[in-house]
Amino acid sequence: MRTSFFRLLLFSLPSLLVSQGAAAQDYAKALGLLTVDGRITDGENKLADADAVLFKDNVQVALATTSKSGRFTLQLEINANYGIEFRHLGFVAKRIAIDTHIPKPKPGQEFELVPIDMNISLLDHARYDGAPTDDLDFPFALIKFNRKSMAFEQDAEYTMGMQRTNGALLLMAARADKK
C-alpha cells in the first residue's frame, strides 16, 4: 500500500510541474509581446541604416534597420533571453542583454507590458585605435524585470561598470595616439 502511494505521488508530480509550467507560458502568451523602441546615434547625429540584430538564445531571429531618423522597433516574447547587437559600418558594435522572464502574478495582480525605450550611442571605431576592444564584446547593459517597480529596468551597477571600461579604453586609445 505504501509503495503504490509513493509511485502515484512520483508519477503525479511531473504532470503537476508540467501543468504549472504550461499555465505560466499561457499567461506569458496572454500578455503579448514586449516592444523595444529605440534610436541609434553617433552621440550627436542619428544613424540611418544601422542594424539592430535580435538574438533569442544566441540564435538570430530578427533584423531591424534604422530609418533616416535612426529609429528601430523590435518585438520580444515574454519568458525568453535575448541579445540585441547594434551595428553600423565604421562604428564599434554595442550589445544589450534582455531577460524577459516575469514572475507569475499573485491572485488579483496584473502586469502591463510597457515598451522599452532605448537611446543607443555608437562610437567611431577610429576612437579606439591603439586600445584592445575585447572587453566591449560583453553586453553594455543588462535589462530584466524588477519585482519592486513591476517594470523592465537595466541593471544600473553593471551598466556603470561597462561605461567605466569603455572610458578606460578610450583613455588608453588617446594615450596611444599621443605616442
Q: Residue 131: its pLDDT value, please? A: 72
Q: Residue 27: its pLDDT value, please? A: 66
Domain 33-178 has CATH 3.40.50.300: no
Rounded CA separation 136/165 (Å): 8
Residue 10 cell numbers, joined:
512520483
What is the residue whose three cell numbers read 530584466? 144
Interval 100-147: pLDDT, tens: 999 887 888 777 888 999 999 998 888 777 777 776 778 888 999 998
pTM summary value: 0.79
Q: In the chain, what are the domain boundaries?
A: 1-31, 33-178
> Residue 149 in 3-state DSSP?
coil
Task: Please give the single-letter amino acid code of residue 88.
Answer: H
Interval 92-112: pLDDT, tens: 889 999 999 998 878 887 778
